Chain A
Amino acid sequence: MSPTKSLLTASAVALASAGAVSAQSLSSAGALAFDTANTLFVGDAEAGLVHAFDLTDALTDQADYQLGRAQTFEGRTIFNHLDVEIAALLGVEAADIAINDMVVHKPTKQIFLSVHRGRGPDAEAVIIAVNHGALELVDLAAADHSSMSVGPVPTAETLEFGQPLNTLAITDIDYYNGELFVAGVSNEEFSSKLRRIPFPFTNEISTSSIEIWHAVHAQYETRAPIITQTIAELDGQPTLIAIYACTPIVRIPLAELTDGAEVRGTMIGEMGFGNTPLDIVPYVNGWDGTSNVVVTNTNRSAASINLEAIASADAMPHGEGVQNVFFVEGVYQFPLPMSGTLHLDTLDDTYALVVRHSPEDVRNIQLHTVPMPFFFDRADHIVEMNFDGSPDPFGYKAAPPVEDN
């Protein structure tokens, strides 16, 4: 072998390893999800990728971290001014960061946040973990990593004609039984494509187009992007429960979502107008054992919907003579006393976790636990039993103050 040749080989190896350990594997960090083990999925709209990071070595069990006192309807504020504190850690002002999503690793109850440092195209994407009430930067370079393309991928041919402007904003990622379900909104198309990807990634992706009925009259059917979704078993059948951009709730059996399929989702409810859904999260009501989903909204308080009701709901009425649907309709939606919510997940069977505007000062972004199943934190509300000298029928005031660890 000539010396020149061996030198070339050496530099090629160096380049390859530099790429492998690059800390900047994330171009952007949006929607988050965990599988049932330790893999964190991160939606990266800028790169058109879903990343998978094995965080086995990074996770810390949080079982001994007190989350509140559900018996007396008390949650815990883990952070006040979460945006200011994360910004301080990153050396910028709160206005210079965006908290894009939040997810809980259920086995350890550890909280993860996707954050952008900066608001320009060169914003740095990071994942922040909460470890016993402390903020930590997750070292993604140390995690095993794989990724899968979901967005518009510039091919050699399209690149010849200049950098394309179209992107897919990934709005939600869900993991179910060895597969990822990725929803997104394109900046140039108004489509209803749902991407279904096996994990571990195999380079396979199946895309279904889901058409939905308009709520009223059903004289029209339409395309619209899914904003948030979850997968639950309804009558033993895995079913996608999706909420669209103008808030119809739609039910689609997973079995129908095959590659290239044109599916008509059954519209079973309407969340009301002038509103965009934020998150849909399944939970079990510990008091009555029922399975439900909770939906948070931009312009309405949250709502809980029972899964059996979703399973048995009739399609929204359509045909001649049906009255207009202006408001919340269809499957019964139980209103929850939770608004100003920015991100939602559950921590365990007893507590939900929110990033929210504080009810007392909307400028204060809190990381806060909320006791389930009512998603009700007594301290947030003006209730008679909180007043000095008022009756205390449930003995809340007799309980000693919660001492957070």
Chain B
Amino acid sequence: MFASQTWVRRALLAAFLLSPLPSLAEVAARLDQVSAAVVVTGLAPHDMSSALTNAKAVRLRLEKNPSARGMLISLNQNGTDLIVVPRFALKAGADYELTVAGETLRVDLPAPDANTPRLVSFAPSQAVIPANTLRIYLHFSEPMARGQLRKMVSLATADGTPVASPFLTLETELWDPRQTRATLLLDPGRIKQDVGPNVELGAPLEDGQSYRLAVSPEMRSAAGIPLGQSVSIAFRVGPPERRATTPSTWDILAPTPGSRAPLSLAFDRIMDSGAALRLITLRGPDGQRIQGQITSDGGGWSLIPDHPWQAGSYSLIVDPELEDVAGNTIGAPFDAAPGTIGTRTEPVILTIEMSEP
């Protein structure tokens, strides 16, 4: 009696474990690449209708996020399929879980196809830069993620001693629209003469010292790929530049008419290379802006025209907002004597004659 009861129990258990459970086993979720929606197949009709009437019972969440909160979704029915439309595109390479009709289904997205980012250049790139340099640009090969500069970029002297808080800590990082160029502002309070931080901590850069600006290998692109190797930029620091910019002292190398040779300027100091590209323009004898390829490394500026040069009088227009790397403008030095910078400055126009040799 006792034995047969056990046998019956075992048989029932085995039947339970082995029996196919069609309504549960077939429920599956997959991402439809075209619509970017999650398609749930195999739902029993009553599960479908209860999902649609009680949308809150359907939850799509990123596995890695510790919150139980589901993301914003809307639900549709397509035949026997439940379509879960996320309000925001699911993140490539991430794993999501979908809870529907008491089941938790995984939706894994393929990893994104993304290049490893590189630091391609920086400015100023001159071997010696002024002690009161205000701005450093870092150019990357890929769009980078915001919000990591403070952690990922550091400055040290040549012997490895870290320079304490050299950069202005702004809430917003300064990037170009594509996020491939970062602007680092050396703390202006430590550059301006006799301001509290400058007196207390000294300028971040000292005349005669050598430095290394290091970018961490962990710095990530917008697609989440790290640089992979640390990059270190070495430079030496010279005397501070505290004079207003004077375009009349620039050397101009004018090409001969008929050629497409570059028109080149050599600055008397290191100018802001980003601003130089935008704020120095050339107009032809007819007053039209000359189109061509403009380059600047901060030490100079050159323009290779799309069409050969014509003989005549050209105007090089220097916007008053152009700054050198230390923030000095045409109107005034960065640290100006009282009463000298409150005056409006017009663009400086240099005339360049191009004539046959």
Residues on A facing B (Cβ under 8 Å): 30, 45-46, 81, 84-85, 87-94, 96, 98, 100, 116-124, 137, 157-158, 160-161, 163-167, 169, 171, 185-191, 209, 211, 213-224, 227, 245-247, 260, 262-264, 270, 272-274, 276, 278, 298-299, 324-327
Q: How large is the interface on B (under 10, 10 to 19, 20 to 34, 35 or more residues)?
A: 35 or more
In the bound complex, residues from chain B placing their C-beta under 8 Å from that of A46 are 177
In the bound complex, residues from chain A placing their C-beta under 8 Å from that of B66 are 81, 84
In the bound complex, residues from chain A placing their C-beta under 8 Å from that of B61 are 88, 91
CB–CB B189/A273 < 8 A: yes
Contact pick for B275, options A160, A189, A326, CB 8 Å: A189
Which B residue's beta carbon lies closest to that of A119? Answer: B145
Complexed CA–CA distance, A214 and B134 (Å) = 17
Given contacts A93-B64, A188-B272, A273-B200, contact A214 B188 (CB under 8 A): no
Q: 27 A-B contacts, Cβ less than 8 Å apart? A: A85-B67, A88-B67, A88-B69, A91-B86, A98-B146, A119-B146, A120-B143, A158-B278, A165-B181, A169-B174, A187-B176, A188-B272, A188-B275, A188-B323, A190-B334, A220-B192, A220-B337, A221-B340, A224-B188, A246-B187, A262-B344, A263-B342, A272-B196, A276-B170, A278-B171, A324-B194, A326-B196
Given contacts A122-B222, A219-B337, contact A163 B177 (CB under 8 A): yes
Q: What are the interface flags for B162-190 relative to A under an 8 Å C-beta threshold, 1 for contact and 0 otherwise?
A: 00010011111111111101010101111
In the bound complex, residues from chain A placing their C-beta under 8 Å from that of B201 are 273-274
CB–CB A327/B196 < 8 A: yes
Which of B90, B195, B197 neighbours the largest number of chain A CB atoms within 10 Å of its CB?
B195
CB–CB A324/B342 < 8 A: no
Q: Is B5 engaged at the interface, CB distance under 8 Å to the other chain?
A: no
In the bound complex, residues from chain B placing their C-beta under 8 Å from that of A45 are 172
Complexed CA–CA distance, A298 and B289 (Å) = 45
CB–CB A90/B71 < 8 A: yes
In the bound complex, residues from chain A placing their C-beta under 8 Å from that of B336 are 220-222
Q: Is B87 engaged at the interface, CB distance under 8 Å to the other chain?
A: yes
Which B residue's beta carbon lies closest to that of A170? Answer: B172
CB–CB A121/B70 < 8 A: no
Given contacts A157-B289, A276-B169, A276-B170, contact A189 B341 (CB under 8 A): no
Which of A30, A96, A100 neighbours the largest number of chain B CB atoms within 10 Å of its CB?
A96
CB–CB A89/B272 < 8 A: no
In the bound complex, residues from chain A placing their C-beta under 8 Å from that of B188 are 190, 224, 245-246
CB–CB A166/B91 < 8 A: no
In the bound complex, residues from chain A placing their C-beta under 8 Å from that of B229 are none
Given contacts A88-B65, A92-B91, A190-B134, contact A169 B170 (CB under 8 A): yes
Complexed CA–CA distance, A190 and B343 (Å) = 17
CB–CB A247/B189 < 8 A: yes
CB–CB A90/B88 < 8 A: yes
CB–CB B274/A188 < 8 A: yes
Contact pick for A91, options B90, B189, B190, B221, CB 8 Å: B90
In the bound complex, residues from chain B placing their C-beta under 8 Å from that of A137 are 72, 87
**Within the complex, what minimum Cβ distance (angstroms) separates B244 from chain A?**
13
In the bound complex, residues from chain A placing their C-beta under 8 Å from that of B183 are 187-188
CB–CB B146/A220 < 8 A: no
Complexed CA–CA distance, A217 and B49 (Å) = 77
Q: Is B321 engaged at the interface, CB distance under 8 Å to the other chain?
A: yes
| Nearest 10 CB-CB pairings of A with B | A120-B222, A246-B189, A273-B197, A91-B71, A88-B67, A165-B176, A187-B174, A119-B145, A88-B69, A187-B183
CB–CB B170/A227 < 8 A: yes
**Within the complex, what minimum Cβ distance (angstroms) separates B35 from chain A?**
16
Q: Is B37 engaged at the interface, CB distance under 8 Å to the other chain?
A: no
